[in-house]
Amino acid sequence: MENYAIHWFRRDLRIGGNLALAQAWKDFDGKVLGIFCFDKKFLSRSDFSINRFQLFLNRLKELKFELQAAGGDLLVLDVGPKEAFQKLFQELDHLPKLISFNRDYEPFARKRDQNLTVLFQQFGIEVKTFRDHLLLEPHELSKDGPDNEGYQVFTPFSRKWNKLIELKEYAQRISYQKQGLSLLKEQSQNNFRPLFNLTWKILFKNKKDPPDDCLEIYIAKNLKRVTVEIPDVSAKSLYQSLESFKKKISDYQEARDIPSLLGTSRFSLLLKNGSLTTSQIIQHLNLHPYEKATTSPQKFLSEIIWREFYYHILFRHPRVEHESFNLKYKDINWENNKTFFEAWKNGMTGFPIVDAGMRELKQTGWMHNRVRMIVASFLTKDLLIDWKWGETYFMEALLDGDLAPNNGGWQWAASTGCDPQPYFRIFNPWSQSLKFDPEGLYIKKFIPELKDVPAKSLHEPLTVKNYPKPIVDHSMQRLKALKLYKT
């Protein structure tokens, strides 16, 4: 049999614009097979989300369809990658010449990839890895100087990031996605070119028992436990999401903070599993580097850079996964009132903007970004509960839960992270709701008990049947929070 390659999919669930897959396809004349392995250690994490897993499974199913429609294949195995590859290599008469995969930057993934690379090389298989879900990798962006020191403040990081992507080497990473986007557009119209010419069935044609594909079993089993509606992640939907946001990006700067408007992109749902990448989004929306984010497109690009910033922080300081970046606040004596925490989770705090956000999360698996900041500030600085409790719950509930940006966002709100809001900046939930939801449209959408309450009454303590009174006094809790951080 001729030489072939295997591409190991992880968080790059797409064909178009997938450089590792494209390079293997080129080097082996279309003879490249896809594989995905369910790692039990990952599935047993404390922040595992049933709903987010279903979104991932649905996208994995779409990817398998897209590969097979293009003449290729995807094998999904119900075992961790080390055991999966060892067993696969034992069963194959002809080992792959190459295994390719795209790099990941989370601590767990980095350790896994190092171990698997050693395993592949022990079998005499070449390994090639590529950059994918970050536009600039951590080793590529550092302060000037011999120590390769990373940035800990967003503004200089952003300034350097914008300068680098103007350089030809990095600008090409964006322009490269023209081909990937073109392929995605074709797929969205059910137009599939014959790109691949090898399947797992062909590879195992002389075997009685090829590996069992477990994808449909996982989907059927997990679907029974799903509690929210799972968004469509077909190629058609992916391309439509790009086109839809392209039409409204000009209003982003004004609309992004108003939760009753559909002014945000929701691309984070797709970035998490690699259905889309930042470079594809930047290319499709024709975004350009900036000195100061003064326009809507520039402001949106700055949000993408924030995401990359938090990944750089996690890569260079992996301890932030479990503790405060700012060690000064590592051992804050949080009150951690469990009754308050349950009220916060269930949207029953008596603060309408907070409760609307938490109910939106529970009902849909999503929360508007402005409201995420409000509820995080409220948990840490009004209820005086450890930010790690909120971070974990978000990862359990969010369809777009992603370790680096979720951790970074929570530490920003709690003033324990790198370049956070100052600890003495404490959101007033009443003034926040008045400013960003003055007519109460968002609040009333998710709190039906308040549908008949006049809008002006929603931004101050109120007494309504079937709706709780405020569980704390914001002014008093603010003073307690200031004292807590000072000591």
Give catalytic residues, as residue numbers.
303, 306, 334, 369, 387, 410
Pairing relationship of beta strands 32-37 and 5-8 according to DSSP bridges: parallel
- From the number of C-beta atoms within 10 Å of its C-beta (0-12, 13-18, 19+), residue 466 rates as exposed
189 C-beta neighbours (distance < 10 Å), count: 10
Distance of CA 446 to the CA centre of its chain: 24
User: Is 176 within 8 Å of 19 (Cβ atoms)?
Assistant: yes
Q: What is the bridge-based pairing of β-strands 98-102 and 5-8?
A: parallel
Q: Is 76 helix (H, G, I), strand (E, B) or coil?
A: strand
C-alpha of 225 from chain center: 22
> For residue 311, which of 106, 71, 40, 162 has the smallest C-alpha distance?
106
Q: What are phi and psi of 397, to 5 degrees?
A: -100, -30
Nearest alpha-carbon partner for 465 in 453, 454, 473, 456: 453
Give CA–CA dist 249/300, Å, rounded. Answer: 8
* Contact between residue 266 and residue 241 where contact means Cβ atoms under 8 Å apart: yes
What proportions of the chain, in percent to the nearest 5, are helix, strand and coil? 55, 5, 40
Residue ranges with strand state E in 235-315: none
Q: The tokens 């119900």 sit on which residue?
A: 78
Q: Where are the alpha helices (DSSP H) in 365-457?
A: 369-377, 387-397, 403-414, 429-436, 441-446
d(CA 350, CA 450): 11
Instruction: Give the residue among 95, 60, 62 at the shortest CA–CA distance from 76.
Output: 60
Measured between alpha carbons, how far is residue 99 from residues 7, 13, 52, 91, 129 in Å? 6, 16, 28, 17, 9
71-90 burial, b for 16+ CB within 10 Å, e for fewer?
Answer: ebbbbbbebbbeebbeebbe
98-102: strand order across its sheet: 74-77, 32-37, 5-8, 98-102, 126-130
CA distance 98 to 239: 31
